[in-house]
Amino acid sequence: MKFLIKVGISAGIFLSTVSFVMADCIGVVTAGGGQRYWSEVKKGAELAGKELGVDIYARGAVNEGDIEGQRLVIEEIKKLRCLGLLLAPNSEERKRDVTQLKFLGIPTVYIDRDIGGDRISVIQTDNFLAGELAGTEMAKALKGKGKVAVFRPDKSVVTTTAREKGFITAAVKGGLEIVIDSYVGSAVGIARGNAFNILQEATDIDGIFTPNESTSVAVLATLQSLKKAGEVIHIGFDSNNYLIKALNVNQIYGFIVQNPFQMGYHGVHTVHRALQGKNIKNMIETEFVFVNKSNVDNIKIRLDLN
């Protein structure tokens, strides 16, 4: 029996078009906080599924903080008896879900972040090192002197927490002063409002770091509305067409780009290998690179951005 999930937004859940055969699918459950990013994860998973002859069932919460929404998606996968699961956990609560899946014979591979538990492998960026790279680039751009703001999405998001720690470590080491360190929210609208309230009063900020797609979009939009875009060194994380266009007109200084496509692709292959009883790696680290005006036209980077 085949099922078809249609594209749309329903009750805070992002739905992907997927045709799958019951008990012959691999689930991909994303976290939120950047739709282009998770779309690339899905594309990588679908290519691997096509190569392996396995259908992909991909859904995820739109908002990174939608813990209950992600749980409901996992419950569907349990009912459908998919062969395995790729999961970007948005809460420590997911450990219990993964243990239950293991009991049912459904192995889980984490993507994008690691919270421990009964997962069989983790495929992610080294987020601390990626944050350090952003901090080093900020210090270089400000020539080792300046006041910097860090706008965080949510304290429960382990990936961005690691990036923020890496950024602050490198920025302070490079001579910069962190004068604003605030949680603004994981949804773009909320983050934009909170960032606006802070930035309209802050007149002496030299640099801003935003550690994911949603905060990068929100803060850029805020700077544009305040007519300050391009006046401060803004370094973001992840990309989309909006951020790339802003880079090309000098409204954002640069951003760290990961490779979410690799996460989805290697994740499905890892689940498949585990189901066949083959050896798998406990950890696979995917690539990241700093993108600014000097290298945005590099062919390899263009492929990652598009």
The pLDDT score that the predictor gives to residue 303 is: 53
The pLDDT score that the predictor gives to residue 24 is: 82
The pLDDT score that the predictor gives to residue 12 is: 41
Per CATH, 2-125+259-286 and 127-257 having the same topology is answered yes
Topology given in CATH for the domain delimited by 127-257? Rossmann fold (3.40.50)
Going along the chain, which residue ranges are E strands? Answer: 2-5, 8-10, 13-15, 18-21, 25-30, 55-61, 84-87, 108-111, 121-124, 147-152, 177-183, 207-209, 233-237, 254-257, 283-285, 289-292
Output the six-digit token pair for 135. 């901090």
pLDDT tier at 15, thresholds 50, 70, 90: very low
Does residue 301 surpass a pLDDT of 80?
no
The domain spans of the chain are 2-125+259-286, 127-257
Mean pLDDT of 285-304: 81
**Within a 10 A sphere around the Cβ of 71, how many other Cβ atoms?**
17
Does residue 254 surpass a pLDDT of 90?
yes
Average pLDDT, the chain: 88
% of the chain at pLDDT higher than 90: 75
pLDDT tier at 231, thresholds 50, 70, 90: very high
CB 55 within 8 A of CB 25: yes
Q: Alpha-carbon distance 172 to 195, whole Å?
A: 22
Helix (H, G, I), strand (E, B) or coil at 204: coil
CATH class of 2-125+259-286: alpha beta
Q: Alpha-carbon distance 290 to 130, whole Å?
A: 9
Query: Closest by alpha carbon to 208, among 166, 161, 248, 254?
Result: 254
Does residue 224 surpass a pLDDT of 60?
yes
The pLDDT score that the predictor gives to residue 2 is: 36
